[in-house]
Structure 1
């Protein structure tokens, strides 16, 4: 389809509107005609900025998993795991802010969208004295852990400490019910401690 000679909207406005639609109506409801209507333009206007729907969804992924994720203000050093813990928490916050868009990340992985960012994180590890042979294990593991945990959380209703495992019957699952009663951590705190344990575990196993 030919692109119009003069843009009627900005690329940024189209991405923001896409996120609004997905947030309010769900990912399955998103379409180019709906986006055009939301922006008050005709669908061909979108082709001035995007080749197709996939390119728009790529930019949505770039926003929720990249641009809106704050980079921790920490310098390289022996406490380097806390940089990645903070980064994971910021990632979680951004994704949960847009729960309906979370499944997009299964198709548009951060490692495919932000290669230069991963280069920066590898340098952070190197400057922190982390052996190079551990870098891929850390960077790959962090993405797999964060996406798996956060997408699982995003696809469920927000939970309390006692409903992290829903539908538990104290009569038929007494041990799990007892574990839930003993748990003092929120979903966020559980995620934080899981990430921290993963990072410290890599170093402990290496030593």
Structure 2
């Protein structure tokens, strides 16, 4: 039997996720994997939702470990690389985007605040910075959801006749460039209105 603590449960749950996918992750399966009775998992997580939230936070650890921007960083390059890093982190886990979608940032709120402060200090209007970070985040999750669904479909036949094969990375980069171009425009014209 594995010595069970919260970290062990999360690590095993993420390994299970990578093996079987999000739909097949269950507390019953996880308990079997850990060699314990299912009710003992509730000592660490009251509900499956709590477990999934902890898994989502742990899956984002590589992104959370990256250095925060410094005043010397070019904000445009930083914005691109920050968003690309988020994509890589989501792609590093099977169903990573689905696991992350709808999760709330836990310990990451201070990092988000510091990233926003960096953009504002770099001359980006606060509202534009907020909307661009939100748009980039949602765009990235949506892009990875599509990419992981496409990869996981097992459809060896490919797309229907006449439909091009999607290069997910190129499509992501094109969309990211559009978001950045809009943000650059807002930074150059600080009086420009940014949605609601």
TM-score category of the 2 structures, normalised to the smaller one: 0.7 to 0.9
Tell me how far 1:125 sits from its aligned partner. Answer: 1.0
Distance in structure 1 (CA, Å) of the matches to 2:11 and 2:97: 15
Alpha-carbon spacing, 1:74–1:196, altered in 2? closer, same or farther (3 Å): farther
Match of 2:168 in 1: 187
Alpha-carbon spacing, 1:200–1:72, altered in 2? closer, same or farther (3 Å): farther
Aligned Cα root-mean-square deviation (Å): 2.8
Match of residue 118, structure 1, among 112, 119, 127: 112
Distance in structure 2 (CA, Å) of the matches to 1:154 and 1:77: 35
State yes or no: 1:166 paired with 2:162. Answer: no
State yes or no: 1:42 paired with 2:42. Answer: no
Superposition misfits of 4+ residues, deviation over 6 angstroms: none
Count of matched residue pairs: 181
Alpha-carbon spacing, 1:78–1:200, altered in 2? closer, same or farther (3 Å): farther
Match of 1:154 in 2: 148
Distance in structure 2 (CA, Å) of the matches to 1:101 and 1:95: 5
CA contact (8 A) 2:129 2:183 kept: no
Which of the pair has the greater relative contact order for Cα pairs under 8 Å at 6+ separation?
2
Q: Per-residue displacement from partner, 1:81-114 (whole Å, max 9, x unpaired)?
A: 211211221111121121324312233155x773
Distance in structure 2 (CA, Å) of the matches to 1:96 and 1:107: 17
State yes or no: 1:203 paired with 2:184. Answer: yes
Structure 1 unaligned spans of 5+: 1-7, 159-164, 170-175
Q: Per-residue displacement from partner, 1:29-71 (whole Å, max 9, x unpaired)?
A: 111121111112222322222111111100111122x212252
Larger radius of gyration: 1
CA contact (8 A) 1:76 1:125 kept: no
Tell me how far 1:168 sits from its aligned partner. Answer: 4.3
Distance in structure 1 (CA, Å) of the matches to 2:170 and 2:118: 25
Distance in structure 2 (CA, Å) of the matches to 1:20 and 1:203: 40
Match of 2:155 in 1: none
Alpha-carbon spacing, 1:78–1:56, altered in 2? closer, same or farther (3 Å): closer
Tell me how far 1:77 sits from its aligned partner. Answer: 5.1
State yes or no: 1:87 paired with 2:87. Answer: no
CA contact (8 A) 1:99 1:154 kept: yes
State yes or no: 1:128 paired with 2:118. Answer: no
CA contact (8 A) 1:81 1:200 kept: no
